[in-house]
Structure 1
Amino acid sequence: MVISVFAVRLFQIQGIDAQAYVARAEAEGVVTVELPATRGSITDRNGVPLAESVDGLMLVADPTMTKPHASEIATIIARRLSVDYFEVLSRLRKPDTRFQYLARRVPSTLANEVLDEIKARGFSGVDTRRDPVRDYPARDVGANLVGFMNDLGKAAEGAELMFDPMLSGVDGSATYETGGGNRIPLGDNEVVAPRSGHDLALTIDRDVQWYTQRVLRTTVTNAGGDSGSAIVLDTRTGEALAVADYPTFDPNDPSSATKGNLSSRAIRDAYEPGSVNKVLTMAALLDQGLVTPQTKITVPPVLPRSDRVIHDYFVHDTLHLTLTGVIAKSSNIGTVLAADQIKDKTYYRYLKAFGLGSRTGVGVEGESAGVLPDFHDWLPIQKDTISFGQGVAVSALQMAAAVNTIANGGVYVQPSLVKGTATTSTGETVGSATSTTRRVISEKAARQVTGMMEAVTDLDEGTAPSAAIPGYRVAGKTGTAQRVGAKCGCYDGTFTVSFAGFAPADDPRFLVYVVVQNPAGGGGGSVGGPAFNKIMTHVLQKYAVPPTGSVAPAPRVEW
Structure 2
Amino acid sequence: MKKPPRLLKLGRPALRLRVTFGVMALVLSLFAGRLIVLQGVDPDRYALAATKENTKPFVLHASRGSILDRNGVPLSVSEDAVAITADPTQTGKVASQLAGVLASRLSVDYATLMKKLTAKGRYVILANKVSPQTWNQITAELKERNKALKEQNKALPEEQKKPLLAGLYTEADPVRSHPNGTIAANVVGIVGAEGKGLAGLEYGLNDKLSGQDGKAMYEVDARGNKIPNADHTVEEPKPGVSAQLTLDADLQWFAERRIEQAVKQYKASSGSVVTVDVKTGEILVMANYPSFDPNKPVKTAALKNRALEQVYEPGSVQKVVTMAALADAGLISLDTKLQVPGVYTVQRRSIKDAFDHGVLNLTMAGVIAKSSNVGTIMAAQQMPVGDFVHYLKKFGFGEPTGIGFPGESRGLMPPGDEWSELTRSNVAFGQGLSANAVQMAAAVNAVANGGVYMPPKLIKDWVGADGNATPNQTAAPRRVVSESAAKQVTTMMEAVTGKGGTAPLAAIAGYRVAGKTGTAQEVDSACGCYRKWATSFAGFAPADNPRFVTYVVLQDPTNGRGGGFQGGPVFRDVMSYALQKYAVPPTGAKQPVIPITW
TM-score by structure 1 length?
A: 0.89
User: Of 194, 213, 227, which aligns to 2:256?
Assistant: 213
Query: Unaligned 5+ residue runs, structure 1?
Result: 424-429
Separation in structure 2 between the aligned mates of residue 239 and residue 47 of structure 1, nearest angstrom: 16
Residue of structure 2 equivalent to 1:373: 414
Cα separation, partners in 2 of 1:183 and 1:375, compared to 1, 3 Å:
closer
Determine the C-alpha separation between the residues in 1 that align with 2:563 and 2:416: 28
What is the aligned counterpart of 1:25 among 54, 60, 66? 54
Q: 1:310 to 1:72 in 2, by over 3 A?
A: farther
Structure 2 residue 108 is matched with structure 1 residue 65: no
Aligned length, in residue pairs: 543
Corresponding position of 1:467: 506
Query: What one-letter code is carried by the residue in structure 2 that aligns with 1:136?
Result: H
Is structure 2 residue 435 aligned with structure 1 residue 394? yes
Please tell me the residue identity of whatever aligns with 1:546. Answer: P
Evaluate the alpha carbon distance shift between residue 188 and residue 107 of structure 1 in structure 2; reply closer, same or farther with a 3 A threshold: closer
Match of 1:104 in 2: 128
User: Aligned residue for 1:427?
Assistant: none
State the partner residue of 2:80: 55
Amino acid at match of 1:517: Q
Three-state SS of the structure 1 residue aligned to 2:495 is helix
Match of 2:4 in 1: none
- 1:329 to 2:370 alignment: yes
Report what 2:386 is aligned to. Answer: 345
Deviations 1:342-383 (A, max 9, x none): 111100000000000000111211111000112446344211
* CA offset digits 1:176-228 (Å, max 9, x no partner): 4589x99798x743122222222210011111111111111111111111111
**1:196 and 1:94 mapped to 2: Cα distance?**
35
**Structure 2 residue 472 is matched with structure 1 residue 437:** no
**Are 1:234 and 2:281 counterparts?**
no
For the Cα contact (< 8 Å) 1:213–1:246, is it kept in 2? yes
> How far did residue 456 of structure 1 move?
0.2
Q: Do the aligned residues in 1 keep the contact of 2:338 with 2:375 (CA within 8 Å)?
A: yes
| 8 Å contact from structure 1 (residues 421, 433) kept in 2 | no
Alignment match, 2:567: 528
Name which of structure 1's ranges 86-95 and 52-61 shifts more when overlaid on structure 2.
86-95
Bigger shift: residues 544-553 or 276-285: 544-553
Q: CA deviation at 1:78?
A: 6.0
Change (3 A) 1:477 1:87: farther
Contact 1:416 1:431 in 2 (8 A): no
Aligned-partner residue type, residue 450 of structure 1 = T
- In structure 1, C-alpha distance between the alignment counterparts of 2:335 and 2:197, rounded to whole Å: 55
Could you tell me which residue of structure 2 aligns to residue 204 of structure 1? 247
Residue aligning to 2:584: 545
User: Letter of the aligned partner of 1:514 in structure 2?
Assistant: V
Q: Does 1:271 align with 2:271?
A: no
Q: Distance in 1 between matches of 2:521 and 2:505?
A: 23
Deviation at 1:270, TM superposition (A): 0.7
Q: How far apart, CA to CA, are the structure 2 residues paired with 1:260 and 1:160?
A: 17
What are the Cα deviations for residues 272-291 of structure 1, in whole angstroms up to 9, with x where unaligned?
10000001011111111111
**Could you tell me which amino acid in structure 1 is paired with residue 449 of structure 2?**
N
Deviations 1:215-245 (A, max 9, x none): 1111111111111100110000000011101
Match of 1:516 in 2: 554
Other structure's SS at 2:321 match: helix
Deviation for aligned residue 1:21: 7.0
Q: Sequence identity, in percent?
A: 48
Cα deviation for residue 89 of structure 1 reads 6.2
Residue 545 of structure 2 aligns with which residue? 507
Q: CA deviation at 1:65?
A: 3.0
Residues in 1 aligned to 2:419 and 2:112: alpha-carbon distance in whole angstroms: 60
184 and 469 in structure 1: CA distance in 2 versus 1, 3 angstrom threshold: closer
Counterpart contact for 2:275–2:285, Cα < 8 Å: yes
How far off is 1:153 after superposition?
Answer: 2.2
Shift of 1:87: 7.0
3-state SS, counterpart of residue 522 of structure 2: strand
- Contact 1:416/1:435 (8 A) holds in 2: no
Residues 474-497 of structure 1: CA deviation (Å, up to 9, x unaligned): 0000000011112222212x2100
From 154, 169, 179, the equivalent of 2:196 is 154
Instruction: Output the CA distance in 2 between the equivalents of 1:182 and 1:304.
Output: 80
SS in 1 for 2:512: coil
Q: Is the Cα–Cα contact under 8 Å of residues 242 and 463 in structure 2 kept in the other structure?
A: no
- Bigger Rg, which one: 2
Stretch of structure 1 that moved more, 442-451 or 512-521: 512-521
Which residue of the partner structure matches residue 106 of structure 2? Answer: 81
Report deviation, 1:163.
1.6
**Contact 2:54–2:219 (Cα < 8 Å) also in 1:** no
468 and 37 in structure 1: CA distance in 2 versus 1, 3 angstrom threshold: same
Note the 1:278-289 alignment, pairs <5 A. 278-289=319-330
Counterpart amino acid of 2:481? I
- The CA RMSD measured in Å over matched residues stands at 3.2
Cα separation, 2, equivalents of 1:287 and 1:7: 95
Pick from 194, 199, 209 the counterpart of residue 167 of structure 1: 209
After superposition, the Cα gap between the structure-2 partners of 1:491 and 1:381, relative to the gap in structure 1 and judged at 3 Å, is: same
Q: 5 Å matches for 1:248-267?
A: 248-253=291-296, 255=297, 257-267=298-308
Evaluate the alpha carbon distance shift between residue 304 and residue 264 of structure 1 in structure 2; reply closer, same or farther with a 3 A threshold. Answer: same
Number of the residue aligned with 1:426:
none
Contact 2:248 2:285 (8 Å CA) reproduced? yes
Structure 1 residue matching 2:447: 3-state secondary structure = helix
Indicate how the Cα distance of structure 1 residues 432 and 456 shifts in structure 2: closer, same or farther if over 3 A, else same: farther
State the distance in 2 between where 1:403 and 1:322 align.
Answer: 21
Q: Alpha carbons of 1:431 and 1:224: their partners in 2 closer, same or farther (altered >3 Å)?
A: farther
Given that 1:267 and 1:396 are in contact with CA atoms closer than 8 Å, whether structure 2 keeps it comes out as yes
| TM-score using structure 2 length | 0.83
Unmatched tracts of structure 2, length 5 or more: 1-23, 147-163, 465-469
**Displacement of 1:74 after TM fit?**
6.0
Query: Any conservation in 2 of the 1:266–1:397 contact (CA below 8 Å)?
Result: yes
Aligned-pair distance for 1:72? 7.2
Quote the residue 2:456 is aligned against. Answer: 415
Q: Does 1:136 align with 2:178?
A: yes
The answer on whether the counterparts of 2:277 and 2:548 sit within 8 Å (CA) in structure 1 is yes
> Structure 1, residues 504-524: CA drift from partner, whole Å, max 9, x if none?
101100000011111121310
Give the SS at the match of 2:367: helix
Which whole-Å CA distance do the structure 2 matches of 1:78 and 1:482 have between them?
57
CA drift at 1:173: 3.5
Aligned to 1:192: 235
